[in-house]
Amino acid sequence: MKKFIIIAFVIAIGLFLLPYSLPLVFALATALLLEPAVQHLQTHYRLKRVHAVTAVFSLFLIIVGFAFYFLIVILVQQIMTFSQKLPHFLSEATAVFNKFIQTWESYSSSIPKEIISSLENSVETIQRLLLEFATNLTQSIVHFITSIPGFLIHFLVYLVALFLISLDLPKLKKRIKKYLSERTHQRLAMIVAQLSKAGIGFIKAQFLLSLITFFLALAGLLLLKVDYAVMMALLIVVVDILPILGTGSVLVPLGIISIANGNSGLGAGLIVLFLIITVVRRIIEPKVFSTNLGISPLAALVSVYLGFQLLGFIGLFIGPALVILLEAMIKAGVIKFSFKL
């Protein structure tokens, strides 16, 4: 009884401290993901632990540095330029609504004036909402820029913790092993190995899908000569992660507005691009997930869909993680199914 009370107390303390120690938690998770690469260098190239960790950590920094350069220098530059021209874009959008109303008024002389007046009020409401959206977007950009220093502090703590945890990971494992029985340690080691392998596989799968989506979107947007192609392609990648919204949340409205403004070629091209990206992603998504996560395509599809339905955006990650955890626990013998119907 005393043992369970101590375990419950430790878990409660851990849950309480979790929101305040997210950089350390992410550092531990990243260290576990990078550990196979460190062990590979130690085994095949006979490097000391500190040299192997330094090499892997340096490669990780280079990759993150290139990603940050791409996001901060290129993306922020395009966002700032886009935000400056956003009022003009919104005015063009509202002009489309006004054009629809004027066209309808010319063909609807028999319709009561009350209905026409109601429609005009609706258009004014839409205009106001669009202006509010522009204001909120500008404020969000300013808030994002002002939050960068705080983020950099947390990120620096994350990097330092990552290097130190990677360096002392074998010692941490030995300390934890002291409090576990041999059987529990073997099962836990098997589960951690499965989760680590699946975690790397999930990152690879998501990165591959996002890369395919990005290059498809970027190629299509450049071919259609759309302004801010890089920013739009990145926005499409982020939105396309969501199974309900998808690329249509970006491309279809732009296509409709372009057609309404008389640029039917651009509008049709954007809609065709939406169809191409959606079809390609939906065809390869289950296969990519199943290959990298080690679960069947059906399990991957069901876990992603149900995870999103039950938990929203975070469910896209928790759903597959629960399936992987369940299979790892079954393989480790923690969960056994021996009944027959």
131 and 191 assigned to the same domain = no
Residue-level pLDDT, tens digit, the chain, 341 residues: 666 777 777 777 876 777 778 888 888 888 988 888 999 999 998 899 999 999 999 999 998 888 777 766 666 666 666 666 666 666 666 666 666 666 655 655 556 666 667 766 766 776 676 667 666 666 666 666 677 778 788 889 999 999 999 999 999 888 888 877 777 778 777 777 777 777 777 778 878 888 898 999 999 999 998 877 887 888 788 777 655 556 777 788 788 777 877 788 888 999 899 889 888 887 887 778 777 777 777 777 777 778 777 776 566 667 777 787 787 777 767 677 665 55
Query: Is 255:275 a contact under the CB 8 Å cutoff?
Result: no
Residue 22 lies in a domain: yes
E strand or H helix at 174 = helix 148-178
* Number of domains comprising the chain: 2
12 and 153 assigned to the same domain = yes
Measured CA angle at 155 (ends 151, 158), to 5 deg:
145
49 and 146 assigned to the same domain = yes
Domain coverage including residue 174: 1-179
Question: Would you state the pLDDT for residue 264?
Answer: 84
221 and 76 assigned to the same domain = no
108 and 71 assigned to the same domain = yes
Residue 339 lies in a domain: no
As given in the structure block, the two tokens for residue 334 are 């923690």
As given in the structure block, the two tokens for residue 324 are 């992987």
Residue 341 lies in a domain: no
How long, in residues, is the chain? 341
Regarding pTM above 0.75, the answer is no
24 and 127 assigned to the same domain = yes
Question: Would you state the pLDDT for residue 200?
Answer: 74
As given in the structure block, the two tokens for residue 319 are 């759903």
171 and 237 assigned to the same domain = no
Query: Is 229:221 a contact under the CB 8 Å cutoff?
Result: yes
Provide DSSP, 85-148.
HHHHHHHHHHHHHHHHHHHHHHT-TTS-HHHHHHHHHHHHHHHHHHHHHHHHHHHHHHHHHHTH
52 and 171 assigned to the same domain = yes
55 and 175 assigned to the same domain = yes
Phi, psi angles (nearest 5°) of residue 226: -85, 135
Question: Would you state the pLDDT for residue 75?
Answer: 62
Which residue from 274, 204, 263, 257 is spatially nearest to 93, judged by alpha carbons? 257
87 and 149 assigned to the same domain = yes
Q: What is the DSSP letter of 296?
A: -
145 and 255 assigned to the same domain = no
250 and 278 assigned to the same domain = yes
Question: Would you state the pLDDT for residue 33?
Answer: 82
